[in-house]
Amino acid sequence: MTTAPKLWTIDPALEARESFVEFEGFKTWVAVVGDEATERERGQLPLLLLHGGPGACHDYLESLAALSATGRRVIFYDQQGCGNSDQPDDPARWTVDFYVREVDAIREALGLDRVHILGQSWGGMLLMEYLVTRPDGVVSATIASSPASMPMWMAETGRLRAMLPADVIAVLDHHEAAGTWDDPAYEAAVNVFYERHLCRVIPTPEFDARSFAKLARNPQVYRTMNGPTEFHIVGTLRDWEILTRLDVVDEPVLLTSGRHDEATPMQKAAIRERLPQAEWVIFEQSGHLSHAEEPDRYMAVLGDFMARAETGRVTRRGDAAPGAGLRPPLSAGAGRLTGRPGNI
């Protein structure tokens, strides 16, 4: 019998400072791990995290709080409509432009004039949308397991879905046609895909389970913008793409993904081609959540990239060599999973 995760606002062991930011009539929850005085003393800059979903809450990113041990602040927030933030019953509110404005509101409220930003999955889509507005003060951008084209994502997750066992596919087909997304049989079939391509460790880390539990409690944002699952996309993001607009992004970029990721290498290569300054690292044992699946190697890669960005030892678009966007990704090597591999 699985024990339900405690749905606390954030792991108490992180000793985060929690607050709210007023944004467009409602409140956005924010938590800061680390100390600004120490950050200044060590000459580092804070890291702002944009979670995925949409609507999946910050919790599954909490392993990234480990980066505060280097002296920088790590800043979490729950986008409105989920988690610890206000959740008005208003599907029309949940748009890409709304969430781009929310990023600006968080930065302004916290005085984040110079900042690293990491966006994971939908958070990386949001980060790309934010970058094309040409904001000031973004020292580096990490796009973690994110697509830049939902039609491409749908084709690739459809390909991965077609590789599932025939009986699983039959259950998925039946319930997707009927719209019975909450049926336990459908949820069990979806989990077969997730164990292969979302999180490949068992048991699921506590902070990941907490995010899934909060998402299940109020899936309005996820279902409005995405749909019921990672591979059945029927929401407002269905036709979204940003590849054709990335040419204006000049900031240093780190792309990360898992070898077994639903954000497949083909999708990441398309982004790399449009962002020739980007570094791209693949985590060999990971699915979609490499920061949680192979945390030691992930923190090392991300920490090194941010440190180099702070000292000008990374590439901006204007400095990229011809053909740089076609380089193959670097491998992070065979990292240690946080739990035992699933039946995959």
R_g of the chain, CA atoms, integer Å:
19
One of 58, 116, 175, 288 is an active-site residue; which one? Answer: 288
Is the pLDDT at 215 greater than 50? The verdict is yes
> Is residue 1 within 8 Å of residue 10, measured between CB atoms?
no
Report the half-sphere exposure of 302 (CA within 13 A, side-chain side). Answer: 34
Which residue segments constitute the domains of the chain, with CATH numbers given? 14-341 (3.40.50.1820)
pLDDT band at 202 (very low <50, low <70, confident <90, very high): confident
Q: pLDDT tens digits, residue range 266-288?
A: 999 999 999 999 999 999 999 99
Q: pLDDT tens digits, residue range 230-241?
A: 888 999 999 999
Q: H/E element holding 279?
A: strand 279-283
pLDDT band at 203 (very low <50, low <70, confident <90, very high): confident
Q: pLDDT tens digits, residue range 35-58?
A: 999 999 999 999 999 999 999 999
One of 63, 68, 85, 121 is an active-site residue; which one? Answer: 121
Report the half-sphere exposure of 83 (CA within 13 A, side-chain side). Answer: 31
> What single DSSP character describes residue 241?
B
Is the pLDDT at 344 greater than 80? The verdict is no
Q: pLDDT tens digits, residue range 281-321?
A: 999 999 999 999 999 999 999 999 999 999 999 999 989 88
175 belongs to the catalytic site:
no
| pLDDT value of residue 181 | 86
pTM of the prediction?
0.94
Q: What is the mean pLDDT of residues 141-167?
A: 96
The structure tokens 């077969």 sit at 192
| pLDDT value of residue 3 | 59
140 belongs to the catalytic site:
no
Q: pLDDT tens digits, residue range 105-133?
A: 999 999 999 999 999 999 999 999 999 99
Helices (H) and strands (E) in the chain, counts: 11, 11
Is the pLDDT at 4 greater than 80? The verdict is no
One of 85, 257, 261, 291 is an active-site residue; which one? Answer: 261
Q: How far is CA 279 from the centre of its chain?
A: 17
Burial of residue 7 (number of CB atoms within 10 Å: 0-12, 13-18, 19+): middle
261 belongs to the catalytic site:
yes
Q: What is the mean pLDDT of residues 173-193?
A: 92
pLDDT band at 1 (very low <50, low <70, confident <90, very high): very low
| pLDDT value of residue 270 | 96
